[in-house]
Amino acid sequence: MKSPYRQLEKRLGYRFLRRKRLEMALTHRSFRYENEGVEIDNQRLEFLGDAVLGLVAATHLYQTFPDLQEGELTKLRSHLTSSANLARVAEEIGLGEFLRLGRGEQQTGGQTRASNLTDAMESVIGAAYLDGGLRGARKIFEKVLMRSLDAPTEIHAQDNPKGRLQELVQQRWRLTPKYRLIAEEGPSHNRIYTVQVLIRGTAYGTGSGNNKRAAEMEAARAAYQEIEPLDHLPERQD
């Protein structure tokens, strides 16, 4: 019988010996709550996958960039293993279409929700580790995550968007960006925060994330792109 996950395995670059492990990695807790007989979801695999990913990423970076110092390697690892990067990679390979979600979660966009994609990506790596050891986890890392290392200098530049924005604004106008929380939505276990960047009381960037820090970083990134080409700050009313 053909596996329903064959296409996903091709995208991941790893074929599971026991596909039940992959199925478990794709099972959201909402699916377990709504279906009798389903006793396990992907939360424990997420915990394992997070640790395995950190080790695989650190090993790869250590071997690939012998000239980089500890601080630079740490920044690259943080980028590779960040929730934003994992969600982006999961979206690129269409991981959401394979998630097993409860009806409510599915109806509210659970297949594209960043937190679900991040959790599932970590869980898949954890499942691959159980299935094929570090070699299995490394295969997925090399297939879907190494593309993030195509431009390490760009990663450095994007690693601290709040710092970049503050440096730009202080150098040009001797001002300090401020961050304002403008929305907080979703259930308590999956809140989405939306933040604006304010400079001299005017909003220049908006960002959302699963926590305030992530939202501030996205807002700073958006504000930097808007402000960087400017020689002066125009007067404007929001």
Q: Residue 162: pLDDT band by 50, 70, 90 thresholds?
A: confident
Confidence (pLDDT) at 13:
95
Active-site annotation holds for 226: no
* Max CA separation in the chain (angstroms): 66
Which has more confidence, 163 or 45? 45
Which has more confidence, 162 or 57? 57
| Catalytic site residue from 122, 131, 216, 218 | 122
Confidence (pLDDT) at 148:
65
Burial class of 69 by CB neighbour count within 10 A (0 to 12, 13 to 18, 19+): exposed
Q: In the predicted model, what is the mean pLDDT of residues 193-213?
A: 90
Q: Residue 65: pLDDT above 60?
A: yes
Structure tokens given for 178:
């401020």
Structure tokens given for 2:
């053909």
* Predicted confidence (pLDDT) per residue in 10-37, tens digit: 999 999 999 999 999 999 999 888 888 8
Of 102-116, 120-134, 193-207, 221-235, the range with the lowest mean pLDDT is: 221-235
* Predicted confidence (pLDDT) per residue in 100-139, tens digit: 999 988 888 888 988 899 999 999 999 999 999 999 999 9
CATH class of the structural domain 6-156: mainly alpha
Active-site annotation holds for 122: yes
pTM check: above 0.75: no
Phi, psi for residue 14 in degrees, rounded to 5: -150, 130
> What residues does each domain of the chain span?
6-156, 161-227
Residue 2's identity, in one-letter code, is K
At the topology level, CATH places domain 161-227 in Double Stranded RNA Binding Domain (3.30.160)
| Catalytic site residue from 41, 50, 131, 218 | 50
